[in-house]
């Protein structure tokens, strides 16, 4: 099957916006409340591998975008399933029931962007054990200011006061 | 009986390199620091622990091309049997916690060698949100190797330097850690919310 045939099939899903990006890549946008159904719909179509969950901070729109990167070994085809959630209430449902590996990807999105996935039992951070600021991958996080306040403010030990 | 000055006594006692012998004249303090330092510098065992990207430079160093074992050095799996800790690249807060745990388990005398520009001042990660920039705010460092990454030749040169420093008594990082323990701990606790 070609990309256009796939796109036509995906457009049958209610409220979806489908666009062929290039050879082997299709983007599909759905409203947030239909994301889980769309993922199941795509999985039934043969997109059985959840490669990654990407997260984009659209700070001017006040929204986070979650991009579920799906791959089909059967058709050698990639689909980006995109949903948008409000920035001031970053909550979404987990996709662990479809792909157990979603737990790891959701952990990362929670650590770096502060998105809470309901139903995911393990959202402990990988690296940022002692994090005290807003999540570091958000657009309004000022890395330079944070480094100045956190690391550069610490005095050298052996300079006599 | 050889007259031993007070500062000398303190230094020898603090370096744990003297013996006290009691005879009828009183207490005699004999130092065999030179011999001990010579033995120490020729049998450095390093903790087999790598952070960041410098670990890749250790492979040619350990194997036949640069053959670290001719200096009496070889990797050791446990910190409690090691003398040398290599910090081979950038350090983030989570890693720093493990490094401090490792360092504090090592017996005296112990030495720290920091690889590359990242432990010196952050290097390319100078404005990263998670890498600590200056390692010597949290741990005493004996020898720095500049470069990103340093070649095995410069690492061998650094080991050579460290051996000279041990022989002359200048490699005193572990003594500084004891002396400024409160300040090091205060700096570490500024970063850590909880220890484990």
Complex ipTM value = 0.78
Look at residue A158 and tell me if it is in a domain.
Answer: no
Q: Is the pLDDT of residue B196 over 70?
A: no
Sheet containing A63-72: which strands, arranged edge to edge? A17-22, A25-29, A77-86, A63-72, A49-58
Residue B143: predicted pLDDT: 92
Contact B137 A156 (CB under 8 A): yes
Average pLDDT across chain B, whole number: 83
Minimum distance, in Å, between the CA of residue A157 and any CA atom of chain B: 6
How many domains is chain A partitioned into structurally? 1
Lowest mean pLDDT among A54-68, A104-118, B42-56: B42-56
Size of interface A-B (CB pairs under 8 A): 58
Neighbours of B104 (CB within 10 A): 11
Look at residue A84 and tell me if it is in a domain.
Answer: yes
| Residue A63 burial (C-beta neighbours within 10 Å; 0-12, 13-18, 19+) | middle
Contact A154 B193 (CB under 8 A): no
Q: Cα A107 vs. chain centroid, distance in angstroms?
A: 10
Look at residue A56 and tell me if it is in a domain.
Answer: yes
pTM of the model: 0.81
Query: Strands, DSSP E only, in chain B?
Result: 18-23, 26-31, 45-47, 74-76, 84-87, 111-115, 143-145
DSSP structure class, residue B149 = S
Give me the CATH number covering residue A68: 3.30.460.80
- Domain B42-195 sits in CATH at 3.40.50.12280
- Cα–Cα distance list, A68 to A52, A94, A122, B48, B182 (Å): 6, 12, 19, 39, 49
Q: Looking at beta carbons, which residues of chain B come within 8 Å of A151?
A: 122, 132-134
- B136 inside 8 A of chain A by CB: yes
Contact B128 A147 (CB under 8 A): yes
Give the model confidence (pLDDT) of A73-131 as tens digits: 988 999 999 999 999 999 999 999 999 999 999 999 999 999 999 999 988 888 888 88
Instruction: Name the one residue in this structure whose structure tokens are 């952050």.
Output: B122
Look at residue A92 and tell me if it is in a domain.
Answer: yes
| Residue B132 burial (C-beta neighbours within 10 Å; 0-12, 13-18, 19+) | buried
Residue A99: predicted pLDDT: 92
- B181 inside 8 A of chain A by CB: no
Contact B128 A143 (CB under 8 A): yes
Residue B1: predicted pLDDT: 46
Domain boundaries, chain B: 42-195
Identify the domain containing residue A110 by its residue range: 3-151
- B100 inside 8 A of chain A by CB: no
SS3 B65: coil
Phi, psi of B118 (to 5 degrees): -65, -50
């Amino acid at each position: 099957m070609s990309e256009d045939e796939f796109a036509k099939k995906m457009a049958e899903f209610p409220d979806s916006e489908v666009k062929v990006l290039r050879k082997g890549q299709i983007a599909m946008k759905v409203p947030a409340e239909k994301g889980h159904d769309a993922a199941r719909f795509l999985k039934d179509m043969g997109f059985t591998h959840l490669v990654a969950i990407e997260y984009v901070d659209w700070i001017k729109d006040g929204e986070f975008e979650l991009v579920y990167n799906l791959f089909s070994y059967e058709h050698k085809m990639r689909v980006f399933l995109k949903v948008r959630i409000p920035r001031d209430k970053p909550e979404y449902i987990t996709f662990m029931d479809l792909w157990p590996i979603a737990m790891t990807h959701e952990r990362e999105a929670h650590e770096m962007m502060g998105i809470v996935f309901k139903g995911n039992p393990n959202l402990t951070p990988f690296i940022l054990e002692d994090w005290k600021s807003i999540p570091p991958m958000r657009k309004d996080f000022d890395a330079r200011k944070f480094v100045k306040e956190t690391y550069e403010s610490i005095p050298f030990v052996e300079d006599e006061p | 009986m050889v007259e031993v000055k007070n500062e000398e006594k303190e230094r020898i006692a603090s370096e744990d390199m003297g013996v006290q012998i009691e005879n009828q004249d009183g207490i005699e303090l004999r130092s065999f620091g030179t011999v001990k330092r010579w033995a120490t510098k020729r049998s450095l065992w390093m903790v087999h622990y790598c952070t960041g990207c410098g670990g890749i430079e250790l492979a040619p160093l350990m194997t036949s091309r640069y053959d670290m074992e001719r200096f009496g050095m070889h990797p050791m799996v446990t910190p409690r049997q090691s003398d040398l800790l290599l910090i081979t690249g950038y350090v983030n807060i989570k890693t720093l916690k493990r490094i401090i745990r490792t360092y504090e388990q090592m017996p005296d005398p112990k030495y720290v060698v920091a690889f590359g520009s990242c432990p010196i001042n952050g290097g390319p990660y100078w404005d990263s949100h998670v890498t600590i920039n200056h390692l010597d705010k949290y741990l005493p460092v004996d020898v720095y190797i500049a470069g990103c990454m340093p070649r095995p030749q410069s690492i061998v040169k650094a080991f050579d330097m460290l051996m000279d420093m041990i022989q002359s008594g200048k490699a005193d990082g572990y003594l500084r850690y004891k002396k400024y323990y409160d300040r090091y701990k205060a700096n570490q606790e500024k970063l850590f919310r909880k220890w484990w």
